[in-house]
Structure 1
Amino acid sequence: MIIVADEEIAPALRDQWDDVCAAFHDDDAGHLYVKPETVLEELDRRAELRIMSLLQDQDLQLHGQSGDLAARNLTGAETELEKLLRSGYRTVVTWRRQGDGDRAAYNLSRVRAQWVGDGDFDRSRAGFVIADLRHGFIAPGMELAVLPDHRLMRRRKTEADDESRRRSGRKGALKSFADLRTGDIVVHEDHGIARFNGFDTKTVGGVTRDYLKLQYAGDDKVFVPVDQLAKITRYVTGGGAEPTLSKLGGKGWELIKTRARKAAHEMAGELITLYAERRARRGYQFPADGELVEEFEAKFPYKETVDQLDAIDAVKADMESTRPMDRLICGDVGFGKTEVALRAAVKAAADGKQVLILAPTTILAQQHYATFAERLRDLPLTVDQVSRFRNAAEQREVVKAFNEGKVDVLVGTHRILGRDVAGKDLGLIVVDEEQRFGVKQKENLRRLKLRVDVIAMSATPIPRTLQMSLAGLRDISTIETAPEGRRPVKTYVGEYDEQLVRQALRREKDRGGQSFFLHNRVETIDETAARLRGLCPDMTFEVAHGQMSDQQLEDHMMRFLKGDADVLVSTSIIESGIDIPQANTLIVDRSDLFGLSQLYQIRGRVGRGRDRGYAYLLYPSAAALTEDAMHRLTALADYTELGSGFQIAMRDLELRGAGNLLGDEQSGHVAALGFELYLSMLEDAVREREAEGDDGGESGDERPEPVRMDAQVSAYVPADYVPYEQAKVDIHRRIASANDVANLEELRGELEDRFGAMPEPLLNLVELQRARIRFGEARCRVVTLRGTKLTATPIELDAEGIARLREEVPGARYEGGHERITVTVPAEGPERLEAVVAASEGVRAAALSVALT
């Protein structure tokens, strides 16, 4: 017997055993199942070979540096590659697409680039390989340099790049909480509100494609080709009532859109005024990362998730720009938002700037202080705090030291928003759970925001915060990937049962953990704790609530943190900031009285380590539940997957209504159009108002229209390849929303892993999207394929671009007067689509040729 990943087997077995016991509500399910210990003993007896995932009890040291050439252009990159080759390094550049590598090889003549096969590496030449590598490295001891293609040159960052990044983040966020399902109410931008009834595969004019079936009023139906999927959004609004389906024909839908567009334009003016002063100011431009930042990041004990790295990169790019940063980091509890803040803080402090870390509660501030002090203890930086756990004299001393520049990072509650806290050279503010601050605190925060960089962090952003971010007035980064080893919290919703409570607390103690029991009434919390002591007399309990004195609250919390108590009976003060990996069972008494986002935050207190977390949301009687409470608890039971914060925020919007988000007048337009379409209108209105303020000139921030591609090619998802309707919806949605070729390649690999080799119709669908992306990168907006004639427009090329086009796409014609490119392609066969994709690559290369030289 060969055992693979030996160290992961025991935790998995014990986790499964916990699930079995929980399912049976029985402390001993041994009469039905084999216990983990028995299985492990049998494996020990039979195993002949054990393969470990990681080296254990052994240090592996590799000395190297970042593989980031950051040259100004391709010529500069070639010079840097030559230096590596002359120094005897085997130099490898990874490319995600062979076409990109081929074009670079043409321009990198001095390094004589070669595609590397098996065993034919000539180390005197730069080697190219196909791989999707995020970060490279240069290892002197191994004389090896591995460089990803996107690290060869420093991109010339433009406002358009900023807008593209912001829009990509917003659209990704929208997709994450608005997944389309069969039977959903949807909104078609041109035809109005309809019911989505799945897909239908039709052959029209000899071309087979998938069509969306939309049902309108009067049982009218419209079949929409999948290339119009971008015009369709899921209908989300407040109140939960199902809207009336639109009637096809007539002027009703256009009148609704006209009124909503006018309202969005008025609201855009208000929002722009709110942020105009801050945008007009010039912020501090931080330099690129120095040794202190790199040293700090190198000591991070875990592997960052891709989302985490994206958020870190976005924050650093903001800090290195001249515009003051105002970025919202959304991520589930325990997904690594604090690590993003830590790296930003070190980057700021390394350049002599001071940092404020603002938290809404004393406990959360204490948690942040402990985290920052621990992580920064080996750096020449000073961390201090101001909170209820410090007396008035101590607080004054800390504030004085901060104002004199003796404290680099100051952590605290709203106290640090006081006018006496100015700092000597403030450069960054990090705000955790910004929505939980009062009006006065937000006004003080707004005063500070005008002149420094700001990061706001939230697990479930309130809808107004979400709306402002999605509308483009704040930048947004989402962290939706769980850290390695994290598992979803098992969530049980049901009536209060003392026997269930006793078993849940007992089971957690038996596996060496601790529990939270949340009772949100201070008047009866001691009585509740006494009742629990009677249920579990051999267990120890601590009580904590906000009306305790500072010293008493700190004492009780510290005893629980140190493991001196089995159960913490508390009010909702544990909602934010408690990070106790060994506390993995949560029982909420009267869960029907909590809001949805609040319950979601509270549930995030457990399951933060590698052990499975359990949450019991209990209520007194099903008969006593209100309809809203039942919807809230059902929603939380539905969204148990890791990274559900956005879904919770949107479901909260649905349950509470849009009035809280936009005001009663605007909520009427949201009800008429749906949230997503209204947001899209608001985005357009914001850009129009911004353009009006640019001295009558054209706005450089215009949102590019999506590429309209009319290609007579059979492209669909065959029913015998993906038989499930929901999976089919998901595939179409993800292909249509792929915004770069790397995303598309990743999706293609995932589909082949799940369903096997792609059939030709689905491959055609993917390749058409690849061509659409490439034409879009060349700023084309309309692409038509008729017979053997492919046209793309509009596109502007100079003489160099025209020469590059003829070189890349032999036979291509450019009509400058019409801003149009025409290419002849085969009339049929697989070569036809290959020619379309090759033409898109060539047109993109021609459009970008000036930037590469």
Structure 2
Amino acid sequence: MLQAAFYEFLQTKNECELLGVKGDKEAFLASEVALYCGKKSYVLPDLRANYGDDLLSFHEEMVELLRVLYAFYHDASSKKILISPLRTLLTPLPKVELFSTLTLAFGMRLHLERFREQMFYWGYLAVDVVQGKGEISIRGDIIDIFPPNSDYALRISLFDDEVESIRFFECESQKSLKDELEEWLLFPALFALDESRYALMQRRIETLKSDSFTKDIHSLGLWVLGESGDVYTERFKTYLSMDAVDECNEIALFDEEGVKKLRLLPSLSTPKAYREIAPSNIKTFIELHQKKKITLLAKNEVLLRMVDLDALHVKWIQSERIVNIMSADEVILSLNKPLSKQKRKRVRIVLDELKNGDYVVHENYGIGIFKGLTQVSVLGATKDFVLIEYLGDDKLLLPVENLHVIDRYIGESGGLVSVDRLGKGSFQKLKAKTKERLLEIASEIIAIAAKREMVEGLNIAIENEELQAFQADAGFMYTEDQKRVIDEILVDFKSGKMMDRLLSGDVGFGKTEVAMNAIFATVQKGFQALLIAPTTLLCAQHFKSLSHRFAKYNIKVAQLDRFTTAAQKQLILKELKSGALQVCVGTHSLFDVELFNPALVVVDEEHKFGVKQKEKLKNFRENVHILSMSATPIPRSLNMALSSIKQYSQLLTPPSDREDVRTFVKEYDEKVIKEAILREMRRGGQIFFVHNRIATIEAKRKELLSMMPNLRILTLHSEISASVTEKEMLRFEEKAYDLLLSTSIIESGIHIPNVNTIMIDAADHFGMADLHQLRGRVGRSKRQGFCYFLVKEKESLSESAKKRLIALESNSYLGSGSILAYHDLEIRGGGNLVGEAQSGHLKNIGYALYLRMLEDAINALMGKTPVASREVDMKLSISAFISDSYIAEDRVRLELYRRLSRCGSIHEVLEIEEEMLDRFGKMDVPTKQFLQLIEIKILATQHHIVLVSNYGQMITLKYEDEKKQTLQSRSRDDDDVIDTVLHYLRNPS
């Protein structure tokens, strides 16, 4: 409703200078409408800091806030509008006087000491090596500085006191880029203060009541702005959106006085003519509304091609806007997709994370050492290759279009890696041995699948209206992933075959909701469904969810686990046998029950069941639909391997209303602990308190009780028996306790949405990955999560511990660390699915290749040849590479090469082409030709062609059956050769 309401408002009124909305998502939607209507829109981030909070925990928001305010202040346009989430409006924001700039220009004189001092007052942090925004390093006549308003850091070279050159440089490699800048407008890292103003703010900080770990302008600057701070709602003509008016009640808890002022502001009216639209099939939608005035918005023509719309026959505006609204006589529809931070998926094993000297595995030549990209010219044609070094200084040049044949080497952790020798055949022998074992594993998997193939599937066809009504009761919008997976399950149900689908997705991404749709469809057709979980805690969680969702539909749900009484158990078994009970949630005891007419078994975390239980599950698999759920990601190659005999779905998108986890580093202090616990309890929540020493955990319990005598504390650690732990955790989940005091046993596998504050005692004794894992235990619901890293004395901390904690606090560490964590999860996930990992084989050939070979073994046993195994030998003498003038960074080019080499369809290439245009602008000739080369490779594979080569104008295509096709291009120019090959492959008849 926001886009429709704001669009109508802007058509009639123009006096709005500031629009207050609920949060980030609403700010983006409003901004798109403003931009479409010709306004200059400036969007502030959702800064949810309370007075006195440490602003390092809001590092990204602070950088964005200052960047946007600077741009807004320095825009002289009368058509500008500031859009802000409500919580940001309640914060004192800096006035224009704190946004001075300094122009750095080639040839100017720079007094180094004066400059150093000015940058200190402007909030730049002096470091040895510049790696993040707001840092500066001065080394003799070289100044490295990373301004917040730049995507790259700057390197300024001085000759005496004169600026000799200004260049960008990459923090990862610390190498300067070639192009020199004439000048650069330098922006403050925080506020543009002088000595006196800085001293005044520092004095105010010393008297400010705050328990921040660090007490400086970076941590507490906004709270001491004084007369340099501004109340924006008093200065600009301000309106509130409807959702912002609703949000006022939610935020009154944080700032009652501020909310009183907000409630006096005018709000947007409910839209009368327009409404918002979200068509699933754009082509059909346009055909249905073709009599209306239709405006299509698309960034480029590639998007029109992707939805199969002819650019010549559709009226479209080249625009990046995302506005989707409709009235009785007009449609405004966007083909662009929002760039969501969460949805930007990284490639599974990201080659740009590889550094020179890392180990890789080539599927034919074995383990070698990665030596980066190199460019080679042969017969006038230039191409990029990856250089891999083998034993005895042997080198292999791998064409970048075949990058998919290598993977990062993942073996056993801590094991020594031995590099293979090129051309000796020893690696092929290792592969042959591994293949034998993999064939055994594959035949076992196929045997189960074959039995199921012979059984006719139970047909479950539910009416759409019924399911839509059930989904509407969820109380939240499903993610696109959830909708897709539910559709996949419903197709399986109607296929006449038995479903065996694996659903993987992080905790809280909505797997249970998907399972409930499947269970609902099953029960509505008169069948029974079971949900089996490995622990009573998980079982209780599922029972609670199912009972709540199915109560409205009179669907009977029971729970069967070790805490069910004998009398209850007897009744449940009887009702399952007679069919009186439709849904039962339980642990492994459900494997032995007799059912009246079962159709679906949902198994959560299957890999956590024992061998005997897995055997029983195999018997189940022969005559009912199976949906297995796992919180561990499944490796891509294993997914491919299982796809022919087992369906696989992933939930990769977190719910849109999922909050992030605010992280604070605090000195251990009773006041801090008490305040954090009371804040969580005031909103009806519970707390995790991690104390990682069993010897002193009881003393810690007494200490907490001395602070808060009425606090209900549950203490758990590894020396307490599993049955007691399980029973007590259930009681904790039922809110019998306020706080769980435990060792780091809660690090994985616990999902209690009501716990949204975690405190980690002696956090400086944990590794970064452990702290990241522990922090992930909270913030799993719609509530804001809070994480407190408690340290004894900040003065006694080592520099590395300080840096580690502050990096976690400001969230700047995200990147390669999370990718490594993902790799670990993949390995565990793969091991769980394949069975007991063969450590010897894994060490010899690496994990990724091991899984790829399992895929081949399964395909071989099923008589299928995977498309990917038919390699095309590309010998076209054309210059085709992603040029370094188009994308300067090797690591980014490698990532794109990797992704393009894995493309299996033209559509995937178009998606990457569209992304490249978006990120890097118009392509140069060699880059465009490389994408066409990939297109040729894909089409040739589809037509069973094994060789594409040319000599001048003569082009030869060789097929698998040795048949040859000769073509002749108009000239020997690259573009003519490419056009000729593509024309033939697109129209081979």
Residue 212 of structure 1 and its aligned partner are, at CA, apart by 0.4
Alignment correspondent of 2:56: 20
Change (3 A) 1:650 1:519: same
Alignment correspondent of 2:930: 765
Residue of 208, 211, 231 corresponding to 1:42: 231
Alignment correspondent of 1:159: none
Alignment correspondent of 1:175: 348
Please give the TM-score of this superposition, normalised by the length of structure 1. Answer: 0.71
Aligned: 1:738 with 2:911: no
Aligned: 1:579 with 2:752: yes
**What is the CA–CA distance in structure 2 between the aligned matches of 1:597 and 1:277, rounded to whole Å?**
43
How do 1:156-171 residues align onto structure 2 when only pairs under 5 Å count? none
**What is the CA–CA distance in structure 2 between the aligned matches of 1:774 and 1:463, rounded to whole Å?**
27
**What is the CA–CA distance in structure 2 between the aligned matches of 1:777 and 1:275, rounded to whole Å?**
28
Alignment correspondent of 1:558: 734
SS in 1 for 2:47: helix
Q: Would the aligned equivalents of 2:350 and 2:895 in 1 still touch at CA under 8 Å?
A: no
How do 1:307-706 residues align onto structure 2 when only pairs under 5 Å count? 307-379=481-553, 381-388=555-562, 390-417=564-591, 419=592, 421-460=593-632, 474-486=646-658, 499=668, 503=672, 506-507=675-676, 509-510=678-679, 514-518=686-690, 527-534=699-706, 536-537=707-708, 540-543=711-714, 547-548=723-724, 554-559=730-735, 565=738, 572=745, 575-576=748-749, 578-580=751-753, 583-587=756-760, 600=773, 603-609=776-782, 611-614=784-787, 646-650=822-826, 666-691=838-863, 699=864, 705-706=870-871
Cα shift readout 1:202-259 (whole Å, capped 9, x = no counterpart): 2222112211011111222222211221211111111332412122233333333333
Change (3 A) 1:551 1:515: closer
Residue 468 of structure 1 and its aligned partner are, at CA, apart by 10
Q: Would the aligned equivalents of 2:369 and 2:390 in 1 still touch at CA under 8 Å?
A: yes
Q: Would the aligned equivalents of 1:576 and 1:601 in 2 still touch at CA under 8 Å?
A: no
How do 1:231-246 residues align onto structure 2 when only pairs under 5 Å count? 231-246=405-420
Residue of 432, 435, 444 corresponding to 1:261: 435
SS in 1 for 2:364: coil
Structure 1 unaligned residues grouped into runs of 5+: 70-76, 106-112, 120-128, 149-171, 624-632, 692-698, 796-815, 847-853
Aligned: 1:752 with 2:897: no
Residue 707 of structure 1 and its aligned partner are, at CA, apart by 4.3
Change (3 A) 1:646 1:823: farther
**What is the CA–CA distance in structure 2 between the aligned matches of 1:774 and 1:97, rounded to whole Å?**
21
Alignment correspondent of 2:972: 827
Residue 132 of structure 1 and its aligned partner are, at CA, apart by 14
Q: Which has the higher contact order (CA 8 A, sep 6+)?
A: 1
Alignment correspondent of 2:206: none
Change (3 A) 1:748 1:244: same
Cα shift readout 1:395-425 (whole Å, capped 9, x = no counterpart): 33334333333333322222322x2x33322
**What is the CA–CA distance in structure 2 between the aligned matches of 1:114 and 1:638, rounded to whole Å?**
44
Change (3 A) 1:675 1:81: closer
Cα shift readout 1:734-766 (whole Å, capped 9, x = no counterpart): 222233334333333333333333333222222
Please give the TM-score of this superposition, normalised by the length of structure 2. Answer: 0.63
Between 1:644-653 and 1:477-486, the stretch displaced more is: 644-653
SS in 2 for 1:687: helix
Change (3 A) 1:5 1:365: same
Change (3 A) 1:63 1:241: closer
Residue 433 of structure 1 and its aligned partner are, at CA, apart by 1.3
Residue 472 of structure 1 and its aligned partner are, at CA, apart by 5.9
Alignment correspondent of 1:168: none
What percent identity do the matched residue pairs reach? 24
Residue 452 of structure 1 and its aligned partner are, at CA, apart by 1.2
Counterpart amino acid of residue 513 in structure 2: E
Q: Would the aligned equivalents of 2:502 and 2:648 in 1 still touch at CA under 8 Å?
A: yes
**What is the CA–CA distance in structure 2 between the aligned matches of 1:425 and 1:319, rounded to whole Å?**
15
**What is the CA–CA distance in structure 2 between the aligned matches of 1:279 and 1:571, rounded to whole Å?**
45
Counterpart amino acid of residue 370 in structure 1: K
SS in 1 for 2:862: helix
Q: Would the aligned equivalents of 2:443 and 2:858 in 1 still touch at CA under 8 Å?
A: yes
Q: Would the aligned equivalents of 1:459 and 1:645 in 2 still touch at CA under 8 Å?
A: no
Give me the CA root mean square deviation. 5.3
Q: Would the aligned equivalents of 1:195 and 1:216 in 2 still touch at CA under 8 Å?
A: yes
For the pair shown, which has the larger CA radius of gyration, 1 or 2?
2
Between 1:476-485 and 1:191-200, the stretch displaced more is: 476-485
SS in 2 for 1:33: helix
Residue 521 of structure 1 and its aligned partner are, at CA, apart by 9.0
**What is the CA–CA distance in structure 1 between the aligned matches of 2:518 and 2:571, rounded to whole Å?**
26
Residue 503 of structure 1 and its aligned partner are, at CA, apart by 4.2
**What is the CA–CA distance in structure 2 between the aligned matches of 1:348 and 1:217, rounded to whole Å?**
59
Q: Would the aligned equivalents of 1:491 and 1:640 in 2 still touch at CA under 8 Å?
A: no
Counterpart amino acid of residue 404 in structure 1: S
**What is the CA–CA distance in structure 2 between the aligned matches of 1:716 and 1:96, rounded to whole Å?**
21
**What is the CA–CA distance in structure 1 between the aligned matches of 2:923 and 2:784, rounded to whole Å?**
38
How do 1:262-277 residues align onto structure 2 when only pairs under 5 Å count? 262-277=436-451
Change (3 A) 1:81 1:232: closer
Q: Would the aligned equivalents of 1:91 and 1:145 in 2 still touch at CA under 8 Å?
A: yes
**What is the CA–CA distance in structure 2 between the aligned matches of 1:722 and 1:203, rounded to whole Å?**
19
**What is the CA–CA distance in structure 2 between the aligned matches of 1:96 and 1:595, rounded to whole Å?**
42
**What is the CA–CA distance in structure 2 between the aligned matches of 1:402 and 1:40, rounded to whole Å?**
67
SS in 2 for 1:323: coil
Q: Would the aligned equivalents of 1:316 and 1:344 in 2 still touch at CA under 8 Å?
A: yes
Change (3 A) 1:395 1:821: farther
**What is the CA–CA distance in structure 2 between the aligned matches of 1:595 and 1:652, rounded to whole Å?**
20
The total of aligned residue pairs comes to 740
SS in 1 for 2:534: coil
**What is the CA–CA distance in structure 2 between the aligned matches of 1:195 and 1:238, rounded to whole Å?**
17
Counterpart amino acid of residue 7 in structure 1: G
**What is the CA–CA distance in structure 2 between the aligned matches of 1:840 and 1:471, rounded to whole Å?**
28
Residue of 308, 314, 323 corresponding to 1:116: 314
Residue 387 of structure 1 and its aligned partner are, at CA, apart by 3.6
Counterpart amino acid of residue 585 in structure 1: I
Change (3 A) 1:661 1:454: closer
Alignment correspondent of 1:154: none
